[in-house]
Structure 1
Amino acid sequence: MTDLPLKDRIALVVGASRGIGYESALGLARAGAHVVAAARTQGGLEELDDAIFAATGRHATLIPFDLVDGGAIDRLGGALYERFGRLDVWVQAAAIMGPSGLTPVAHAEPREFAKVEKVNFTGVYRLIRSLEPLLRASDAGRVIHLTTSVAASPRAFWGAYAATKAGAEALMKTWADEIESTAIRVAVVDPGRMRTQLRAQAFPGEDPAALPPPSDIAPLIVELARADLTPPLSVKFSEWQAGPTAAALV
């Protein structure tokens, strides 16, 4: 393994302004990738760029946009093609629970539910559609999609979030099967309990100090992004932590 395993790779991180997305982008940059950071919050992207520059001496490419804007997603693929001609890594970290947080399904406000669906599910479909040609242009495209345990095991009051994340996970796995003959590989990653804003929204009484910080998952993201390893389709962060690292990816 070289000091910079992702040297000169082009890595897009969607949801890069905070939490797991922020730490993934910083980790990828430290591993040598040129990071294209996308998120709604301009200020968060600028803070990330400052951190990347302080760590690497290089700036990221910042793209402020909202996943509810399908046209912006369509334009993203064209803009990346004009600038780079390919995409080597795509990390999909953006997701929302909705402003009301946990709520019974029958009480969900339709407009709020529709926004959660657009960000967590339809946005993922439109990104696949926009980015697949760029990933095909890479010699080893890597897609890392962050999921959640409630996608497979839904619980009361998690309706909109659980359903849309389950849909996105199914979409990613279906797409992975469709592109099996290409050099693109998809990894669906369950980070488990982690110190994120979304977690704090769901469990406001929980002590965040008792949870691992998002920076802990950055080494796994870097490993899954490497061109010289083939990632498994499904990865649990807790299992990766407990076992061997690179040896687990064959």
Structure 2
Amino acid sequence: MTTPIYEARDISRSYGSVRALEGANFDVYPGEISALIGDNGAGKSTLVRILSGAEQPNGGQILFNGEPIQLETPTDARSRGIETVFQDLALANHLDPIQNMYLGRELMKPGVMGALGFMQRSAMKNEGKRAFSELGATVRNFSGPVGGMSGGQRQAIAVARAAAWASEVIFLDEPTAALGVVQTKGVMDLIRRIRDKGIAVVLISHSMPHVLDVADRVHVLRHGKRVAVMDAKSTNVEELVGAMTGALDGKEAA
């Protein structure tokens, strides 16, 4: 197997006397959907925040393309093509989908006009529509505020926005939570399209059927450590739950 595009080795993180991560490992390969599961308090969110640059570990090492790196801020991660969609989506409700896609990344007009704050609105609109269409995001209204859209539409916009900027890795934290059946299918199809572009996808989810449906490998966290790595095609819900709860000994990846 090739070198992981993104890897965490022996990551530790404490909050006072609480140890959220104790020697946690994780890796994902280009064009792979790697699921990260674990019970509440297992350390999933902490690990994702560290790998997205939102927090710094107390110990351990992060490698990108096999080289050690240090992330001080989320901007450091984004500069390497690593994007994250957290559960709160971080959408500006009063802006439309295109404005949300370019929020903080606006295309400014060249020269003095750009310095004065004038943007290339037509270019952003055309490129934004193309990106949404390419990823299969069923965005029907490009001019209305996202705050008035359905949960599925908002989720698709957040995922497609991240995918439009991600060139290497995208983390999706509970992307199907609180969605209906049809909306969930749309998001799952979107995840597959991102994978098919060669981008590594990390899916954090409590839904075992969804994990088994789209993931290539499943990483199980328990008590701040990775306790198992399973081939999604050769495991089942019972084994995953057993690894999460400690009822079943998992087999750690080499």
Shorter-chain TM range is 0.3 to 0.5
Which is bigger in relative contact order (C-alpha 8 A, separation at least 6)? 2
The TM-score normalised by the length of structure 1 is 0.36
The structure number with the bigger radius of gyration is 2
Structure number with the higher strand fraction is 2
